[in-house]
Amino acid sequence: MARDPGRVLIFDTTLRDGEQSPGASLNLEEKLAIAQQLARLGVDIIEAGFPFASPGDFNAVQRIAETVGTADGPVICGLARAAAGDIKACADAVAPAANRRIHTFIATSDIHLEHKLRKSRAEVLAITAEMVAYARSLVDDVEFSCEDAGRSDPAFMYQVIEAAIKAGATTVNIPDTVGYATPAEFGELIAGINAHVPNIDQAVISVHGHNDLGLAVANFLEAVKNGARQLECTINGIGERAGNASLEELVMALHVRRSYYNPFLGRPVDSSEPLTGVRTEEITKTSRLVSNLTGMAVQPNKAIVGANAFAHESGIHQDGVLKNRLTYEIIDARTVGLADNRISLGKLSGRSAFRARLEELGYQLEREDLDDAFARFKELADRKREISDRDLEAIVSEQVQQADEARFSLKSVQVSCGTGLQPTATITLTTADGAELTEAAIGTGPVDAVCQALNRLAQVPNELVEFSVKSVTEGIDAMGEVTIRLRADGVLYSGHAADTDIVVAAAQAFVNALNRLIAGGRSQPLHPQKGPLPVVGDLPLAGRPRV
Ligand code: KIV
Ligand code: ZN
């Protein structure tokens, strides 16, 4: 392939497809923190969002393009349906990035053509050529996706891909949108494209896939063997329904099994050159950040980033690992940055040491947020002797979560509970205009009482669908992290908080979720993949190219 980049490009879509996970919506500060960490992780391309969805989404993509899209940084990409308004908004949003990309897509399966787009194959072919050419008139780097490629007629798809490349697409993406393919089939699909699309040597082949059958990573690895050189994936595998192919699993499979994959990239078996540009030591930190900010917990047995992925419970395994870790371990925990949980600060540490360590961990807080986070750190240091990086991350991710959307802030929470007592909570909230509101409620337990009191104060109907607590670090003085998910009008909203007192953490997490619900209820962004395309002819510019 003339456009073979010589290694596998990692295209991260945590901020676009990942954010489409129910309840995972992120505010601007959170998106910026994740984008900055993705740049440190070394991904090649960040899909920062769907700019046409709402002014907030546009602004987030633009800010990421400004701050993370430096000349030596990743390509900043935005998603656009194959419609002129989407493409123009996308071009404007990614414009500040030194390296920018428009990713436009249209479905190619008959089932989508008939029931979603209500368009003929000829119409889809014409729209593809026209919209890719339009995108290419705005940026040099254009990616085109055949949505639902996994269920499309290959012969028709070859024609669409050929037209997209002819119109200027530099990457062609093959999504298994519904997670239906098996590895052998997906590999054949990529081989077929390589064999039957005459101009395929002018574009990078990319893959995108959902995990409905748990096969996304396996499908991608088969695609690499057949010529795919860009993998679209998310941190912790989050995304629509069962999620996307997980970045950490793909990167570590290509790292650990390098000698198996080397020949498929034309390298000697024993070449030690990395197959991706990812800095694997940043994986654990990135996983924790995404989990904290999206409120999507990582299952303990999840490969690479699950709490048990490097834990050796059974005596036989522990004994073997102590004698020689190769007996039961294929990855050294340090390779993914797991052992790197420094005891960094203590009671006497000052503000500048605190800020410096946060910066090393990848958090850059504005002055006011830094003051609040430092106050929380001091409070914690009074209760906990040693403050580790994990504790700092818990404090700061909460700070980032509260930024710019706090309608209510938690002023105080008091509970009384125990044997023979009716659990009672008294809560005081401060509103955005400074008023203080207090309510008390009884519940089946202290957390239930807290939630009841908060609901009386906020007066926004919701249903609590998830409440989970886990400890940030080991030890009796560890902080507890609480994640709460609320449902309102069928939409999920999550809240996350950490404190050494789990009732306080629960109250704060509930307030964070309520604030998101109130902000989200005001405007639901447009979903890129649901519904027909906007009417053709919506292009706001005169003189658009016709092909
Ligand atoms: O799953 C999918 O098909 C997508 C496309 C928009 C690439 O997310
Ligand atoms: Zn997708």
Cα(496)–Cα(481) distance, rounded to whole angstroms?
7
**Pocket-testing residue among 152, 176, 177, ligand 1, by greatest number of atoms within 8 A of Cβ:** 177
Statement to judge: residues 197 and 221 lie in one domain: yes
Cα(496)–Cα(218) distance, rounded to whole angstroms?
32
Cα(355)–Cα(347) distance, rounded to whole angstroms?
15
For the whole prediction, is pTM greater than 0.85?
yes
**Is the residue at 511 inside a domain?**
yes
pLDDT tens digits along 111-159: 999 999 999 999 999 999 999 999 999 999 999 999 999 999 999 999 9
Cα(132)–Cα(135) distance, rounded to whole angstroms?
5
Statement to judge: residues 261 and 320 lie in one domain: no
**Pocket-testing residue among 21, 105, 109, 160, ligand 1, by greatest number of atoms within 8 A of Cβ:** 105
Statement to judge: residues 183 and 324 lie in one domain: no
Looking at residue 320, its pLDDT comes to 65
**Pocket-testing residue among 90, 131, 146, 147, ligand 1, by greatest number of atoms within 8 A of Cβ:** 147
**Is the residue at 536 inside a domain?**
no
Q: How far, in Å, from the CA of 22 to the mean position of ligand 2?
A: 13
**Do 481 and 470 meet the contact criterion of CB atoms below 8 Å apart?**
yes
Statement to judge: residues 447 and 388 lie in one domain: no
Cα(464)–Cα(447) distance, rounded to whole angstroms?
12
> What's CA 521's distance to the chain center, in Å?
22
Atom of ligand 1 nearest to the CA of 209: 1
**Is the residue at 464 inside a domain?**
yes
pLDDT tens digits along 446-497: 999 999 999 999 999 999 998 988 888 777 778 888 989 999 988 888 888 8
- Show the tokens assigned to 500: 């050494």
Ion ligand 2: residues, CB within 5 A, are 17
Instruction: For residue 300, count CB atoms less than 10 angstroms from its CB and return exposed for 0-12, middle for 13-18, buried for 19 or more.
Output: exposed
Looking at residue 403, its pLDDT comes to 62
Looking at residue 104, its pLDDT comes to 98
Q: How far apart are the first and last CA of the chain?
A: 26
Q: Report the CATH number at residue 482.
A: 3.30.160.270
Kindly calculate the radius of gyration of the chain based on its CA atoms and give it in whole angstroms: 24
Looking at residue 460, its pLDDT comes to 92
Statement to judge: residues 355 and 263 lie in one domain: no
Statement to judge: residues 396 and 435 lie in one domain: no
Q: How far, in Å, from the CA of 17 to the mean position of ligand 2?
A: 6
Atom of ligand 1 nearest to the CA of 528: 6
Statement to judge: residues 311 and 270 lie in one domain: no
Q: How far, in Å, from the CA of 94 to the mean position of ligand 2?
A: 20
Looking at residue 65, its pLDDT comes to 98
**Torsion over CA of 419, 420, 422 and 424, rounded to 10 degrees?**
-50
**Do 450 and 415 meet the contact criterion of CB atoms below 8 Å apart?**
yes
**Is the residue at 301 inside a domain?**
no
Q: Residue 413's beta-bridge partner residues?
A: 427
Question: Ligand 1 atom 8: the closest Cα is on which residue?
Answer: 17
**Is the residue at 544 inside a domain?**
no
Cα(390)–Cα(394) distance, rounded to whole angstroms?
6
Element housing 101 (H / E)? strand 100-107
Q: How far, in Å, from the CA of 300 to the mean position of ligand 2?
A: 24
**Do 488 and 462 meet the contact criterion of CB atoms below 8 Å apart?**
yes
Atom of ligand 1 nearest to the CA of 16: 8
Atom of ligand 1 nearest to the CA of 17: 8
Statement to judge: residues 412 and 397 lie in one domain: no
**Low-confidence spans in the chain with pLDDT less than 50:** 1, 537-547
Statement to judge: residues 332 and 278 lie in one domain: no
Query: Which 8-state DSSP code applies to residue 500?
Result: S
Q: Report the CATH number at residue 131.
A: 3.20.20.70
Q: How far, in Å, from the CA of 259 to the mean position of ligand 2?
A: 30
Domain that holds residue 21: 9-294
Looking at residue 340, its pLDDT comes to 56
Statement to judge: residues 512 and 415 lie in one domain: yes
**Is the residue at 471 inside a domain?**
yes
Question: Ligand 1 atom 1: the closest Cα is on which residue?
Answer: 177
**Pocket-testing residue among 12, 13, 17, ligand 1, by greatest number of atoms within 8 A of Cβ:** 17
**Is the residue at 206 inside a domain?**
yes
**Is the residue at 4 inside a domain?**
no
Atom of ligand 1 nearest to the CA of 529: 6
> Which residues approach ligand 1 with their CB closer than 6 A?
17, 105, 145, 147, 175, 177, 208, 210, 529
Task: Tell me which ligand sits closest to the C-alpha of residue 234.
Answer: 2
Residue 476: how many other CB atoms lie within 10 Å: 7
Statement to judge: residues 440 and 473 lie in one domain: yes
Statement to judge: residues 266 and 316 lie in one domain: no
Q: How far, in Å, from the CA of 264 to the mean position of ligand 1?
A: 26
Q: How far, in Å, from the CA of 211 to the mean position of ligand 2?
A: 10
Q: Quote the number of domains for the chain.
A: 4
Q: How far, in Å, from the CA of 204 to the mean position of ligand 2?
A: 18
